Structure 1
Amino acid sequence: MSALTPPTDMPTPTTDKITQAAMETIYLCKFRVSMDGEWLCLRELDDISLTPDPEPTHEDPNYLMANERMNLMNMAKLSIKGLIESALNLGRTLDSDYAPLQQFFVVMEHCLKHGLKAKKTFLGQNKSFWGPLELVEKLVPEAAEITASVKDLPGLKTPVGRGRAWLRLALMQKKLSEYMKALINKKELLSEFYEPNALMMEEEGAIIAGLLVGLNVIDANFCMKGEDLDSQVGVIDFSMYLKDGNSSKGSEGDGQITAILDQKNYVEELNRHLNATVNNLQAKVDALEKSNTKLTEELAVANNRIITLQEEMERVKEESSYILESNRKGPKQDRTSEGQALSEARKHLKEETQLRLDVEKELEIQISMRQEMELAMKMLEKDVCEKQDALVSLRQQLDDLRALKHELAFKLQSSDLGVKQKSELNSRLEEKTNQMAATIKQLEQSEKDLVKQAKTLNSAANKLIPKHH
């Protein structure tokens, strides 16, 4: 952080020094890293102008804080962009040993520490960003889970370690951007921890929170039980982002492809989470259905036991009251034996009282379980109602199918009857055809006979004609 923070006791650079420093430039992706006097300054290439602005006084705290905010914002842009590009090229789940991921957490730690108010303790002044991060669970209820997980980690002893663990869990949960936006929107709460011109209180904080949305396409998995998050040194390694000036031109051509890949990965991740949520809910419903009967039986047994214990308590109270009355009315010589009986009765009463308290605690547990069971039963009843509605519709469809089947059977029977009638008619037609064929044969035979007779008559007539002549 010392490279990003200008010293307060430096002399004001002249115009010639500023122009000379602008000429001596190291290209850090799309950012220019230049030396203004003895301190580091980051500028985006689109915002560079070699014409120097009016020189502000370096002793002005607002000027120094503004430069620190700008440096941190540009460094966050570099870190997030490099992390997304390298993670997409790598194509696997990232772990805590991945160097760009480690540098991202270092940059985020510097952003969250910027402008923190110092709190006085017994050991001196202490600045920790764990306090603002604890506020997130009040603004976003989903963050309560990771806050509780951080507090339960046994190896964390300092607030800085807890803050680092919180950042890692939020990134794994893919909610870091949402949590940071919710925190930045509540500046009245942040004013308790930050100075008015801190990064989290200014526009640069909102820009960084917006940039964090792109990290939702990254899958990260950390095992923090073995990591020493308390003693890590947060130093930004600028050598990771040093590139040739011409490489920035080539990277601009791949911007659209990268954006499309980011959207594709985001949609796939969202779909995977929705499927996992559906599977978990289905498993919970199945478990509730299985435990419903068991809980009902246990509740009935517990109720019977409570009734029995209450009856025993009433009986013990009556016996103790009877013993007290007999002690008051009886002779003095019997008080010793009766006193022993009374002490035993008191001891028995104390045991019964303790037993009753235990039973009442168990009853409260059973009541809470019964309430959960009733809620689950309502959900199941709703599901059953929906299934019953579906069953009614299916039955209606089945009845329609049966009616259609009867109608088709009737039509089939009618068609069979028609086929029989047609076959009978066909057989009759065949008989008539055969009869007609026999008649035709007879007619043909008779025709032949008639022809023969005609020929005979003709021959006879021919013989008779010459005789007349």
Structure 2
Amino acid sequence: MSDLTPQSETPTPTTDKITQAARETIYLCNFRVSVDGEWLCLRELNDISLTPDPEPAHEDPKDPIAIERLNLMNMAKLSIKGLIESALNLGRTLDSDYAPLQQFFVVMEHCLKHGLKTKKTFLGQNKSFWGALELVEKLTPEAGEITASVKDLPGLKTPLGRGRAWLRLALMQKKLSDYMKTIINRKDLLSEFYEPNALMMEEEGAVIAGLLVGLNVIDANLCMKGEDLDSQVGVIDFSMYLKDGGHSSKSAEGDGQITAILDQKNYVEELNRHLSASVNNLQAKVDALEKSNTKLTEELAVANNRIITLQEDVERVKEESSYQMESRKALRSDSAADGQALGETRKQLKEETLLRLDVEKELEVQIGMKQEMELSMKMLEKDICEKQDALVELRQQLEDLRAINQQLSHKSQSADASSKQKSEVIARLEEKINQMTGTVKQLETRCKQAERERDLALEANRLFKQEFGDKIESLQVEVEQLRRHRSNLEQELRKERERRSDHHLNVASRQSGTPRRERRLPENVPKVSQHAFKLSVTLKSCFFFVQKQCKNCSGVFCESCVSKELPLPSSILPETVCTACYTQLLQQYASTPT
């Protein structure tokens, strides 16, 4: 029990509680329930010596077969101990893929193969322990179900595979230790299959059978369908038993509680099984006592009837004797005549007296028998009452155990339901994670594509600016010159219009001017008209050319005003734009950072 108690360097309240709970818990691996008459007893396995007795003086200590037996026994100890500790720490039902369980079967196979006799057949030499395991069916009828199940399993073609399947089924039934003890106790039958110095024929076999009792605390669920038991290679993995001992002795706080609950559950199951057996035995005894009670009641009724008949016979004999006495008194007066009849009467009286004495003795015997029967009936009734009280107590205990088992089953079902719900939630979360992962991948792809497009646009913009930078600057200078020229022309046009308006006013006011002024007027008019004509030609020349549309502002201009080309934001190729849009786009491109 000290191996199962968690230890720590500094005692804490939690560790003290766990230690106390571990000490107060009865572990089924250290105790075994046995039936002693009508009582259930707990026998500690530590009282049984698990180490083999010292070898006799005449045996060689360097005997290789004895060393093999000792090695196999030690490996069995390590395998069973490691399997129990790991199973209790794991706290769940073991399956076929559990490595310590597989190594346990390999070790048991080596133990059963040690010292096997080789049988010669038509196909060659055969060496299998399946024949020895078949003896269990003859010695224990309960094992017939396992043997029949093994024979009905599909895919098992060799005796070795059947033996492996038999070991797994016996472990699942928690009766492997009982079956091993049964065949080990019959060494006269085992001698047919094993050599005299084999492990199953020596004391090491009994030690291993005792160690197997601790495996009753393990719940195993082994599926043998589809498992190739014929061709498995049984090799012992020693690396599992060469670990640090201090590491295996440490366990978490929750593992101790789970271990205690599992041990109590298995102890309750074992106690329930023995209680069921004792209840069945007591029920059989009660049935037998009821049958014997019925039989004794019938015999008592027969005896009472016989006593009544005997009493009637006694009364009849008394009446006859009184009648004979009266007749004898009457005959005394006539004794001389009836002497011969008197002798006969005396003889008959003597016989009747003897018969009466016999009847009285038989009556006394019957009365004594009746008293004894009444006493025995009272004792039987008292015994039956005691048995019934004990049976009621056992039934109450059985109901309590069933309630505990039902609570444990409800807890296990609730734990299974919660685990199923958690697994469903995990599955949904995994599905959402997969969807989000796909969405993230799509977004990353789009982001990479957008980055590539942005890089291409930046590169194109850089190349465009590098290529058309000088042109843009020269065009900007030209635009500024054109603007200044246009402003000068507009000013000249306004001045000319003012002059012409002044001229018309002067002409209108001075119709009767002097000939000198009339002579000066024809000299100035050609100059003014010539300058005005140039301005009108300059301003109205756009209306005489082919008109085009600007691709940026959709305005209609002459061909000379829409002769500039620039790439627009909506298109990569250069498009024709007007002068104003051209200037605006140049400023916009110049202000954009590279």
TM-score (norm 1): 0.43
Give the number of the structure whose alpha-carbon radius of gyration is greater.
2
